[in-house]
Structure 1
Amino acid sequence: MEDLATGPVTFWAWIQHVLDPFCGPIGLFSLFASDGLVACGDTGWGDEIALGVRVTVSLALATLPVGLLLGFIIALAMQSEERSLKIATGIYTTIFRGLPELLTLFIVYYGFQIIIQTLVTSLGGETRVEISAFFAGMLALSVVFSSYASEVLLSAFRAIPRGQYEAGSAVGLSRAKTMVLIVLPQLIRIALPGLSNLWLVLLKDTALVSVIGLTDILRQTGVAARVTKEAFLFYGLACLIYLVLATLSSIGLSAISRWANRSEASR
């Protein structure tokens, strides 16, 4: 039974190794830095840097949906006729757009942990609460991203004519269905350029999590630079990796934008 259980796991690990863009058989470090400081294995820092890339990309991808959802909710609240909601969202966006991202990260990583620990203690619990660096980074970047995304989405909401909402109501659609079927497709198309810029900013801001111990690109290359005394090599490599990620993101976002525009034109 153990062989049956470990078989798929071993096969999946082999697939991951083969498809690894850095340390796989046709990975960049394996092909171009097989015997240098960036080599994979025990002879170089390729494995550590590849891990940093995976952590950076995972953090950005985990932050994006949370930040978008929060931004969408805040944008809806900004349009609400309820005065208290407008004031609350205004305070939220002012705070997180005004604070430096690094300070927000420290507040979340240290302050949020203290708040939860205090609540647990007040309820009679004795468990020590610790927030992982990944979760703290995701939460901090999400609130910052959402504060900017809400303004982009709010502008997109205002660009959609009120007649679109009235048309949905006229054909018998509920407000929720009108939002999903009529408003949301237009909202995405209008907000996409602004959200694309925010994604690139988010990708760069992930470098901040290195200060709280998360093994991202900057932390891994920084450790390698200090150990080997080859700062220019490893920080230059970090620059190259971020530029490649930004370029790939720009290509993907341009493709999505063209698809959205074609879909709109075909209607």
Structure 2
Amino acid sequence: MLRMLYGYLPAVLEGLVTTLKVSALSLAIACVFGLVGAAARLSESRIARLLAGVYTTLIRGLPELVLMLMIFYGGQMGVNALSDRLGGGYVDIDPFVAGTATLGFIFGAYLTETFRGAILAIPKGQIEAGHAFGLTRLQVARRIVAPQMVRHAIPGFANNWLVMVKATALVSVIGLDDMMHRAGLASASTRQPFTFYAAIACIYLAVTTVSLLALHVLEKRFSLGVRRVDF
């Protein structure tokens, strides 16, 4: 198995770099969608709550692969239809951009509920006390809400991150030259699919294990001074 991997391992590891880039950028986009969505879900505007509710319900109710294909090909059609109206030529959307944006949009719905739950876990009395001390809404959000929201959100955030890392394997279906795509090419050339996909599974396991350790350290850092109650 190792001898079989030797000639293809550098190419697979180059694909791993692409996979990690997609994961990191998708997470950043998802955090933006999640924060905006959580703010909308908790806002006093009925329209904002409705739109955010529709967004989270639809996205969480459909498989990631179906959404990936719908958004990629639907976006491709929409961009080219607009280009035709403007007199432009055919526009080929880059798979990296499309995959990153799609994953960010999808997991933004999950992080919306994660952030919303984290904000709701903060005692309202603390927020009211901040206003009573003369703090502005921005100061309350920065000094009271944000630090505690991060602590409450870390467990759900960690779970979404792990799922997102694994979901990057889906990006290969739209033509991105990532780790899964290169493993597929190698397995087709050698006719040893189990060897390469087993190696990919080990690499994903290593990435998720390191992520869990890092997130555990982060959770301990934000839980300093918080008393744990055991039942």
Query: Is this a same-fold pair by TM over 0.5?
Result: yes
The correspondence of residues 1-267 of structure 1 with structure 2, limited to 5 A, is 36-39=3-6, 44-122=7-85, 124-262=86-224, 264=226
Aligned partners of 1:215 and 1:113: how far apart in 2? 19
Structure 1: any 5+ residue segments left out of the alignment? 1-31
CA deviations over 1:231-267 (Å, ceiling 9, x no partner): 22111101110110111111111111111112656xx
The 1-side partners of 2:142 and 2:226 are apart by: 15
The one-letter amino acid paired with 1:68 is C
Cα distance in structure 2, aligned partners of 1:126 and 1:221 = 37
Q: Which runs of 5+ in 2 are unaligned?
A: none
* Distance in 1, Cα, partners of 2:163 & 2:170: 12
Q: Name the CA distance, whole Å, in 2 between partners of 1:55 and 1:264.
A: 38
What are the superposed Cα offsets for residues 189-226 of structure 1, whole Å, 9 maximum, x if unpaired?
A: 00100110110000000000111111222111111111
> 1:137 Cα shift?
0.9
How far 1:127 sits from its partner (Å)? 2.9
Distance in 1 between the 2:142 and 2:29 partners?
19
Secondary structure of 1:81's counterpart equals coil
Aligned length in residues: 227
Shift in alpha-carbon separation, 1:146–1:263, aligned structure 2, 3 A: farther
Whole-angstrom CA distance in 1 between matches of 2:118 and 2:200: 35
Q: CA deviation at 1:177?
A: 1.7
Higher RCO, 1 or 2 (CA under 8 Å, sep at least 6)? 2
Tell me, in whole angstroms, the C-alpha distance in 1 between the residues paired with 2:161 and 2:189. Answer: 32
SS in 1 for 2:4: coil
Distance across 2 between alignment mates of 1:241 and 1:185: 33
Preserved contact between residue 108 and residue 139 of structure 1 (Cα < 8 Å):
no
State the 1:139 CA deviation: 1.3
Q: TM-score, normalised by structure 1?
A: 0.81
1:117 aligned partner, one-letter code: N
Q: Give runs of ≥4 in structure 1 deviating > 4 Å.
A: none
Structure 1 SS opposite 2:176: coil
**Residue 38 of structure 1: SS of its match in structure 2?**
helix
Equivalent position amino acid for 2:143 in 1: L
Matches of 2:219 and 2:143, distance apart in 1: 19
Distance verdict in 2 for CA 1:210–1:263, change over 3 Å: farther
Whole-Å separation in 2 of the counterparts to 1:234 and 1:263: 46
Taking only aligned residues, the RMSD between alpha carbons, in angstroms, comes to 1.5
1:145 CA drift (Å): 0.7
Identity of aligned residues (%): 36
Q: Match for 2:115: what amino acid? A: L
2: distance between equivalents of 1:172 and 1:128?
56
Q: Aligned equivalents of 1:175 and 1:127: distance in 2?
A: 48
Aligned partners of 2:222, 2:8: CA distance in 1, in Å? 41
Is this contact kept in 2: 1:51–1:215, CA < 8 A?
no
SS at match of 1:55: helix
